[in-house]
Homo-oligomer: A and B are copies of this chain.
Amino acid sequence: MALNEDRLFPAEPATRAVARRLYAGVKDLPIVSPHGHTDPRWFAENELFPDPAQLLIVPDHYIFRMLASQGVPLEDLGVPRRDGGEVETDGRRIWRRFAENFHLFRGTPSRLWLEHTLETLFGIDERISAANADSLYDRIAAHLAHDDFRPRALFERFNIEAIATTESPLDDLKWHAMIRESGWTGKVVTAYRPDAVVDPEFEGFADNLVRFAELTGCDTGTFAGYLEAHRVRRAFFKSFGATSSDHGHPTATTANLSPVEAETLYRRVVKGEASAADAELFRGQMLTEMAKMSLDDGLVLQIHPGSVRNHSPALFQRFGRDKGADIPSRTDYVRALKPLLDAVGFEPGLTVVVFTLDETTYARELAPLAGVYPCLRLGPPWWFFDSPEGMKRFRESATETAGFYNTVGFNDDTRAFPSIPARHDVARRVDCAYLAELVTSHRLDEDEAHEVAHDLAYRLAKEAYRL
Chain A residues with CB under 8 Å of chain B are 1, 3-4, 6-12, 14-15, 65-66, 68-71, 103-109, 111-112, 127, 308, 311-315, 324-330, 332, 334-335, 338, 341-342, 345-346, 348, 357-360, 363-365, 367-374, 376, 384-385, 387-390, 396-397, 399-406, 437-438, 440-445, 448, 451-452
- A72's nearest neighbour on chain B, judged by CB, is B374
State whether B315 touches A107 (Cβ < 8 A).
no
A-B contact pairs, 16 of them (CB 8 A): A9-B441, A10-B11, A11-B440, A65-B372, A69-B374, A103-B448, A108-B399, A108-B400, A311-B369, A328-B334, A359-B363, A360-B360, A363-B390, A387-B400, A388-B400, A388-B441
Across-interface contacts of A314 in B (CB, < 8 A)? 342, 345-346
- C-alpha spacing A313/B342, complex, angstroms: 7
State whether A389 touches B397 (Cβ < 8 A).
yes
Across-interface contacts of A327 in B (CB, < 8 A)? 334, 365, 368-369, 372
Minimum C-beta distance from A377 to chain B (A): 10
Across-interface contacts of A372 in B (CB, < 8 A)? 65, 68-69, 311-312, 315, 324-325, 327
State whether A384 touches B359 (Cβ < 8 A).
no
- A15's nearest neighbour on chain B, judged by CB, is B11
Minimum C-beta distance from A60 to chain B (A): 13
A384 touches which one: B106, B338, B363 (CB < 8 A)? B363
- C-alpha spacing A387/B395, complex, angstroms: 13
- A441's nearest neighbour on chain B, judged by CB, is B8
Across-interface contacts of A106 in B (CB, < 8 A)? 403-404, 444, 448, 452
Minimum C-beta distance from A380 to chain B (A): 15
State whether B443 touches A8 (Cβ < 8 A).
yes
- C-alpha spacing A404/B385, complex, angstroms: 17
Minimum C-beta distance from A287 to chain B (A): 17
Among A105, A325, A335, A401, residue most surrounded by chain B Cβ atoms (within 10 Å): A401
Minimum C-beta distance from A412 to chain B (A): 16
- C-alpha spacing A371/B327, complex, angstroms: 10
Which 9 pairs across A and B sit closest by C-beta, in order of nearness? Answer: A7-B442, A4-B442, A11-B440, A107-B399, A387-B400, A11-B12, A328-B364, A329-B334, A327-B368
State whether B400 touches A7 (Cβ < 8 A).
no
- C-alpha spacing A4/B440, complex, angstroms: 10
- A361's nearest neighbour on chain B, judged by CB, is B330
Across-interface contacts of A10 in B (CB, < 8 A)? 11, 441
Among A109, A368, A397, A444, residue most surrounded by chain B Cβ atoms (within 10 Å): A368
Across-interface contacts of A397 in B (CB, < 8 A)? 389
State whether A69 touches B370 (Cβ < 8 A).
yes
State whether A406 touches B368 (Cβ < 8 A).
no
Across-interface contacts of A14 in B (CB, < 8 A)? 11
**Known contacts A106-B448, A359-B363, A364-B359; is-contact A8 B403 (Cβ 8 Å):** no
Across-interface contacts of A402 in B (CB, < 8 A)? 69
State whether B8 touches A373 (Cβ < 8 A).
no
Minimum C-beta distance from A106 to chain B (A): 6
- C-alpha spacing A443/B389, complex, angstroms: 12
- C-alpha spacing A378/B400, complex, angstroms: 22
State whether A338 touches B311 (Cβ < 8 A).
yes
Across-interface contacts of A438 in B (CB, < 8 A)? 107
**Known contacts A4-B442, A327-B369, A365-B328; is-contact A403 B107 (Cβ 8 Å):** yes
State whether A329 touches B335 (Cβ < 8 A).
yes
State whether B437 touches A401 (Cβ < 8 A).
no
Minimum C-beta distance from A291 to chain B (A): 15
Across-interface contacts of A127 in B (CB, < 8 A)? 445
- A387's nearest neighbour on chain B, judged by CB, is B400
- C-alpha spacing A406/B403, complex, angstroms: 32
